[in-house]
Amino acid sequence: MFGFGNGSGRGRTGMTEPFAALQEVRAYWEALREGGALPRRDAIDPRGMAGALDRVFLVERIAPGIARFRLAGMVFNGLMGMEVRGMPLSALVDPASRGRFAEVLEPVFCGPQVLELSLEAERGIGRPALSARMLLLPVTGLRGEPLLALGCLCLTGEPGRSPRRFAIAGERREELPALPKPTPVAEAGFAETAAAFHPRPPRGKPLLRLVSSRE
């Protein structure tokens, strides 16, 4: 298990490089892809993303187009005004955009795909201009099931009064190459494949002949 705290990202990924944290998280995710396979959940170490931890999150797919927060950095508390763990990721999206959000989110898990979104927050009294970019990277669970995604959210502007929700202003999807399915490991300790056995000999002459000592 690991958690996401305040991190040290504000100095390294501030307004001069507002989206540097996305690059850091993507580079770390790529480094975990042995042979092009998706990273496993238990291989993720928060120290590998030390400069971006306050804006990193982990979500779990719970239904088609729906994922919920399992872990989230402190930036999300500021956006929503509360702890977001257990909440749906779509809580960050305004109601008018949630249908589209579900459409682009589902291929992250079933594609799999890498998804990057450009987001614009609604404005109003106490809610100044705020835009964001969100990156979602597929991750497998302990049994290899693609039901998780590692994400990062970078903001430009001031959150102002919470909660803040976003409309989708743009999207970029990257299809990942299909990988061969791993060969299942037999549960029985002495299991063998059928090819390991010789075929049954044809009926007719026996393989062994009883020889009498009187012959």
pLDDT digits (tens, 9 = 90+) for 32-83: 998 889 999 999 999 999 999 999 999 999 999 999 999 999 999 999 999 9
Nearest-CA neighbor of 19 among 150, 134, 188, 168?
134
pLDDT at 207: 42
Return the ∠ at Cα 157 (arms to 90 and 4), rounded to 5°.
55
Band of the pLDDT at 186, cuts 50, 70, 90? very low
CB 132 within 8 A of CB 166: yes
CA 212, CA 177: separation in Å to the nearest integer?
67
The structure tokens 């990277």 sit at 137
Domain ranges of the chain: 9-180
Instruction: Report the CATH architecture of 9-180.
Output: 2-Layer Sandwich (3.30)
Residue 140, strand partner residues? 40
Q: For all residues of the chain together, what is the average pLDDT?
A: 81
What residue type is 66 in one-letter code?
A: I
In the predicted structure, residue 9 carries a pLDDT above the cut 80: no
The structure tokens 């903001």 sit at 155
More confident call, 203 vs 129: 129
CA 113, CA 125: separation in Å to the nearest integer?
37
* Mean pLDDT along residues 205-214: 46
pLDDT at 192: 33
Q: For 89-135, write each residue's pLDDT tens digit.
A: 999 999 999 999 999 999 999 989 999 999 999 998 888 999 999 99
86 dihedral zone (left: phi>0; alpha: psi -120 to 50; beta): left
